[in-house]
Structure 1
Amino acid sequence: MASSAASSLATHVTASLILLPLGIRRLLCCTSLYLADPSLYTSKIWYFSQPNSKNTDLYTLLIVLPLASFSHIFIFLASLSGSTNPTYTFSFLQHSFVIFLFWALLLLIILKESFHLYSFPDNFVFIFAAIAFLIEFYMSGRGFVGLGGALYGILGGLSIACAACCIILSVRPSAFFAEFLLSSGLVLKGTWVLQVGLSLYTDAFGLKGCAKISGLASPKGELDVKCELEDDRSRGVALLNLLFVWHIIVVFMANFMLFGLSNRNRNKRSGGEASGPLLAQIGGSGDISMHPLTEFELE
């Protein structure tokens, strides 16, 4: 059963390594674009880099996500012959489907921008992203109860928050607060999914008095962290809630500090006056459109 726990831990670490850079980069890009001129800010489905960088982040995800999806399918097939809980086994297949949805979202973004598929407006892409987050919420932690259910319940709540932000952006692309919360939510999902993996599938970072989840079948077909005493379980729930509060505090403090530093650096570069490629483009044509996959209006 150790291999099942190791596989679950690996999936959580991988998800964290994908979500954290994605959320941080989106936060940096939307903040820079907003500070250029708040009155003309419009959220983007993807913040494309300068031509010389060739958008390596986007194409890296196009390669990594299918590999992650296929690895989940492989683990699912390998687990069918074991004695693990069926719910635990099928969770790998569910994760594979969720990863495929977000991969399809990236394909939709590339097709839209590369082949000028303007029949699919940005709000349609945001709606698709919201649906993907809602499906992720529905499948997150299914079959887990107790401490495991609490951890995955928080992760599902973050998915709901990201879905709500995507819906707001589909209706009002100029809502910077929704973009800021979406980016912060991605960062928070990245830190919390790592916390879930460490708390549930390792002994070193597990809760005191509780064993890690092994995936063994239970009489009720449910998965839970096995604690020696009920006091250990209660203490674990309180500790998890405190940990999540600290995650929120640290992430949002870091985000607001980043926002302040970006504003300060921009004022130093421009001498207190708004300038840069974005405003130069706006001043010349009154339009903020950009050539697909070739430029992003960052200073």
Structure 2
Amino acid sequence: MASLATHFTASLLLLPLGGRRLLSSSSLYLHNPSHYRSKPWYLLHPKWKNLDFYTLLIALPILSFSHLFLFLASPGHPPTPRFAFLQQSAVVFLFWVLLILILCSQNLDPNAGIPDTLLFVFSGIAFLIDYSMNGKGVVGLGGVVYGLLGGVTVVCAACCFYLSIRPSAFFAEFMLSLAILLKGSWVLQVGLSLYTDAFAFEGCGKISGAMTMGQVDVRCDLEEDRLRGVALMNLVFIGHAAAVLTLSFVLFGLLCRYRSMRCGEASGPLLAGIESENMLMHPIPEFEID
């Protein structure tokens, strides 16, 4: 149940993050494609509109310490699932540090702040560390499911590294938003499929703490059940990807059609700040224009 709660919490954080990023970046790009530049986080002005940002600043360290507590409170002899809590704690802590760096960059003098390039590089490294730790020690059917999640994480990292070189590449920003959304939906699917009996594969059970040569797997009665489970999860993943892609294109189309009705940054001080930045020769504090 603790593993299901972990996956549910990750999904709860990632889905709004990906959706907000998709809305914000698409709105800015459609307003002025030639001057578009991606940001590690699209902060709004006034500050109260950044409620999700400050919520994450508070929630991530609590989540990280919760995983650490679960690791320390786990049984004495260390099965792989126990160390998963420690790995998840480290990954969550890294992304919390990233938010701290973004906050410092926005509130420091523009000439002394942390460049967006370095923030994107740090984000890419954090995603790669997440990839290296995700589902570690899980093999067989469980390993296939976590492998799909790892592939999405690698796409997130690649987009971050590319944006650190070319922040004006909207297609990389669009792919990053889609990958975060897909990661959020798939991590919930992983939790339901591997850590609950209600959504377990036919002929198979959920992942247990039992280990074989330091590895864990979903127990299946027959090899045919395992192969059917692999095929089913590949099909479900394609369904998740198609749903996220369709939703994103529909949203982008609506933003194109109703420019005057865009939410958040598209209709307030954000766009006014960007227009001022294009007109003035000296820099403006980023917190006002993000």
What's the TM-score, normalizing by structure 1?
0.89
Taking the aligned partners of 2:274 and 2:113, their CA distance within structure 1 comes to 27
Residue matched to 2:209 = 215
The 5-angstrom pairing of residues 11-160 of structure 1 reads 11-51=6-46, 53-81=48-76, 86-116=79-109, 118=112, 120-160=114-154
* Paired residue type of 2:89: S
Residue matched to 1:165 = 159
Residue matched to 1:224 = 217
Alpha carbons of 1:123 and 1:280: their partners in 2 closer, same or farther (altered >3 Å)? Answer: closer
1:294 Cα shift?
3.9
Residue matched to 1:201 = 195
Residue matched to 2:265 = none
1:278 Cα shift?
5.2
What's the TM-score, normalizing by structure 2?
0.92
Alpha carbons of 1:203 and 1:268: their partners in 2 closer, same or farther (altered >3 Å)? Answer: closer
- Identical amino acids, percent of aligned pairs: 55
CA RMSD of aligned residues (A): 1.9
Alpha carbons of 1:266 and 1:74: their partners in 2 closer, same or farther (altered >3 Å)? Answer: same
1:257 to 247, 250, 255: 250
Number of residue pairs aligned between Structure 1 and Structure 2: 282
Contact 1:51 1:295 in 2 (8 A): no
Alpha carbons of 1:50 and 1:268: their partners in 2 closer, same or farther (altered >3 Å)? Answer: closer
1:284 Cα shift?
3.7
* Paired residue type of 2:220: C
Taking the aligned partners of 2:274 and 2:127, their CA distance within structure 1 comes to 34
Taking the aligned partners of 2:119 and 2:279, their CA distance within structure 1 comes to 29
The 5-angstrom pairing of residues 229-244 of structure 1 reads 229-244=222-237
Residue matched to 1:272 = none
1:282 Cα shift?
5.0
Taking the aligned partners of 1:268 and 1:113, their CA distance within structure 2 comes to 27
* Paired residue type of 1:104: V
Contact 2:101 2:114 in 1 (8 A): no
Contact 2:121 2:161 in 1 (8 A): yes
Deviations 1:28-59 (A, max 9, x none): 00000000011111001110122052411111
Contact 1:188 1:248 in 2 (8 A): yes
* Paired residue type of 2:52: D
Deviations 1:244-268 (A, max 9, x none): 1011100000000000000101168
1:144 Cα shift?
0.3
Contact 1:23 1:186 in 2 (8 A): yes
> Secondary structure of 2:216's partner?
coil
1:147 Cα shift?
1.0
